[in-house]
Structure 1
Amino acid sequence: MAVTKQQVVVAAAGGGEALKKRNEELERDLRESQEREEQMRTELRRAWERLRIAEDAEERLCFQLGELEAEAVDQARSYHARIASLMDQLARAQQLLHQASAPTPRS
Structure 2
Amino acid sequence: MEELRRRNEELERELIKSLQREERMKMELQTLCERVRVAEEAEERLCSQLGDLEAETVDHAQEYRANLVALMEQLEAAHKFIESASFDP
Per the normalisation by structure 2, the TM-score is 0.98
Q: Displacement, 1:103?
A: 4.8
Per the normalisation by structure 1, the TM-score is 0.82
Q: Sequence identity, in percent?
A: 53
How many residue pairs align between the two structures?
A: 89
Structure 2: give runs of 5+ residues left out of the alignment: none
CA–CA distance in structure 2, aligned partners of residues 44 and 38 of structure 1: 10
Q: Displacement, 1:75?
A: 0.4
Once superposed, which parts of structure 1, at least 4 consecutive aligned residues long, lie more than 4 Å away?
Answer: none
CA–CA distance in structure 1, aligned partners of residues 6 and 62 of structure 2: 83
Q: Which has the higher helix share?
A: 2
Q: 1:54 corresponds to which residue?
A: 39
1:32-51 CA distances to partner (integer Å, 9 max, x unpaired)?
Answer: 00000000000000000000
The Cα RMSD (Å) is 0.7
The answer to whether the aligner puts 1:65 opposite 2:50 as a matched pair is: yes
